[in-house]
Structure 1
Amino acid sequence: MNEPVLPPSADLRFPSIEALRAFEAAARLGSFERAADELAVTASAVSKRIATLEDLLGAALLSRGGRALTLTALGKEYLGQVRAALGLLAAVPLHQRARQRRRTLRVSAPPTFSRHVLVPALPAWTAMHPEVELEVVLSIPYLQDGAGVEADVEVRHGPLGSPGMALLMDEAVLPAASPALIERHGRPRLPADLAGWPLLRTPVEPWQPWFRAAGLDWPEPVDGPRLVDLGLTLEAALGGQGVALVRPSLARGWLQRGELCALFDLPARPAQQYQVRIRSGDLAAAAFADWLASVCEAAVAQGHAALSGRA
């Protein structure tokens, strides 16, 4: 659809919005006084705005004789055009007072965390804070070289001890695979039995912490695609492509339904955790961070229950 092309600026003479509103109100209500009451200005101000509009147009829009204002022929034609224009402007959400009074809170978070922890819980936040418009943007800190995304609240998956970051989820990881992959290779009895299994690799969740916990002196896997996203790694595991190191909070639904199965009851604390940083002094940002901490606590508990079969 082609956008309308405006004539050259030299050929245009735009009246003020205040003048158009004064004219529309006076024409509809029949007097400067009633229009003034509606617009919360004086009758003199309404009269002056309309006079300025008429000077700009070079034509009279209202007949001022008699007890009530009446439209001239040109004024009647112009009124229809003005109402259409004002209607279009009034329909723009950003022009509405209710929208302008709402506080916009921008939250950045990694994709997998957003999909499996944050977004499912958003109805509860919206119900508690209808005055806050939440804007969620995805960030990939691993690829942003620490730059992050401009936001009021920032969720990150990174090493502990980062300045200004508060821990959201202190969670262990453990290897999990799809039933199809387990059927092909046979369920392993010992961690060393994973030799020869395809191990899904991602720099976001390296295997070394779990290898050390399992007493394995193995290097990081080098075969297969390198997936720079936890969600992609989980999807590959669901598809039977290999074993993934999973966080139960993120994989709780699949663990509960048996679509992923933990291979060992041997969790290991990873090098990185989900953390939050408040980057705005707004009270809504602090309230959101507190609420998100409770959401994460519940997600971790649900993940543990899914592992133990109590979900």
Structure 2
Amino acid sequence: MHSPTGKDVRLPPLAGIQAFEAAARLGSFERASEALCITASAVGKRVVALEAQLGVSLFVRRGRGLDLSLAGKEYLEQVRSALELLSNASLHQRVVRRREPLRIVSTPTFARQILVPHLAGFTERHPDVEIELLLSIPYLEMGPPYADLQIRFGTGSFTGLISQRLTHDPVFPVCSPAYLAAHPGLRSPADIRQATLLRCPLEPWRPWLMAAGVNDSSEPEGGVRMFDLGMMLEAARAGMGVGLARDCLVRQWLDEGKLVRLFDITVPSTSDYYLCRDASQPFDEVVDLFATWLTALTRNGQTSTY
């Protein structure tokens, strides 16, 4: 090995240096072997090899005990300084590689149906990012006071936020196979008023009823009113009635046969999911990494691959 100055430099093996330092500190090869978890013979061989490379005797042997030679005393001072520097450098590297926090606030349904099932795809690629996932309530506009990123449901116009649309799915009615079997009269859109229409203010019925040409296109009355899309879809899956759904939220349940789609009529959604960040927030590499990943995930999801 050559140094930058062109001199021939052969560095002693670290194992030999550690064996020498332990033997000098503890006074025998036996005690050094216990500290290093190797045999006393291995300690002795490493020290002998180190002495041969340096061309000096580091110890004066006296039975089972050891005394440092003059050269050994000088070398020990140098070795301890070098080992301390190496130790400090390792500690410094561990500090530099600290985990990067990322706080995300999401609506419950998006978190449960889309984000959490795929989150491992991000964390496996970026293990140093520590994600903190919190929930908000869209209808009540309630959420934690601060987040690096927000996933919100609405029209995309959010005060003080830069928003990017993640989903854009049409809306259609669904119910459970058991509910459909118990209501054989649901043969056409005009028959839907015979069913129990599950209500959620985030997914109003009026646009779909008008598109389907149903005479009474007013919002349904009576029954349980739910303020979360996920709860409403769970109610549909449990056989409580017919709910309005979008592909990104129910694709898996449709594929598994837990929900069935009624009729071929769809209407554009009045609200979608948006990825938002504070307009005053400076650029952050970790935030940008997650935003890029989530955007790609939901873009693929529009081809039913959530």
For the residues of structure 2 that align with 1:98 and 1:263, how far apart are their CA atoms? 57
1:159 and 2:116 matched: no
Instruction: Report the CA distance between 1:140 and its aligned residue.
Output: 1.2
Name the CA shift for 1:219/1:303 in 2 (closer, same or farther; >3 Å).
farther
C-alpha distance in 2, partners of 1:262/1:180?
A: 13
Alpha-carbon shift at residue 98 of structure 1 (Å): 5.1
TM-score under structure 2 length normalisation:
0.65
Give the one of 100, 106, 112 matched to 1:103. Answer: 100
What amino acid maps onto 2:194 in structure 1? Answer: G
Contact map agreement 1:168 1:274 (CA 8 A) in 2: yes
Contact 2:97-2:128 at 8 Å conserved across structures = no
Q: Which residue in 2 is equivalent to 1:189?
A: 187
Q: 1:246, CA displacement in angstroms?
A: 0.7
Aligned with 1:141 (options 138, 142, 156): 138
Quick one: distance in 2 between partners of 1:38 and 1:142? 59
Deviation, structure 1 residue 120: 1.3
Corresponding residue of 2:237 = 238
Query: 2:134 touches 2:144 (CA, 8 Å); kept in 1?
Result: no
Whole-angstrom distance in 2 between the partners of 1:220 and 1:99: 57
The letter for the 2-side match of 1:176 is V
Give the aligned residue type for 2:156. L
2-structure distance, mates of 1:99, 1:232: 43
Q: 1:248 to 1:191 in 2, by over 3 A?
A: same
Residue 302 of structure 2 aligns to a residue in which SS?
A: helix
Instruction: Name the amino acid aligned to 2:163.
Output: M
Change (3 A) 1:99 1:203: farther
Partner of 1:90 in structure 2? Answer: none
Aligned counterpart in structure 2 of residue 38 of structure 1, from 59, 84, 93: 84
Deviations 1:250-285 (Å, cap 9, x if unpaired)? Answer: 111110011100001111112110001123431211
Aligned to 1:264: 263
The residue matched to 2:101 in structure 1 has which SS?
A: strand
Matched-pair contact (CA < 8 Å) for 1:139–1:149 = no
Structure 1 pair 187–166 and aligned structure 2 pair: CA distance change class (3 A): farther
Flag structure 1 segments of 5+ consecutive residues without an equivalent: 1-28, 42-95, 305-311
Alignment counterpart, residue 298 of structure 2, candidates 287, 291, 296? 296
Gaps of 5+ in 2: 1-24, 27-76, 88-92
Corresponding letter in the other structure for 2:131: L
Map of 1:180 onto structure 2: 178
Aligned equivalent of 2:289, options 287, 290, 304:
287
State the Cα distance separating 1:38 from its structure 2 match.
Answer: 3.0
Q: Which amino acid aligns with 1:204?
A: L
Higher Rg: 2
CA distance, structure 2, for counterparts of residue 254 and residue 209 of structure 1? 24
> What is the number of residues matched between the two proteins?
226
Q: How does 1:55-134 map to 2 (within 5 A)?
A: 97=94, 101-134=98-131
Q: Distance in 1 between matches of 2:231 and 2:138?
A: 16
The match for 2:42 is none
C-alpha RMSD of the superposition: 3.1
Give the residue type in structure 2 aligned to 1:160.
G
Secondary structure of the corresponding residue to residue 112 of structure 1: helix
TM-score, normalised to structure 1, is: 0.64
C-alpha distance 208-35 of structure 1, shift in aligned 2 (>3 A): farther
Aligned equivalents of 1:303 and 1:251: distance in 2?
12
User: Which letter maps to 1:105?
Assistant: L
1:179 and 1:223 map into 2 onto residues whose CA distance is 23
User: Contact 1:278–1:285 (CA<8 Å) still a contact in 2?
Assistant: no
Tell me which residue corresponds to 1:198.
196
Counterpart of 1:13? none
Q: Verify the 8 A CA contact 1:249 1:301 in the aligned structure 2.
A: no
- Aligned-pair CA distance for 1:35: 8.3
Contact 1:278 1:289 in 2 (8 A): no
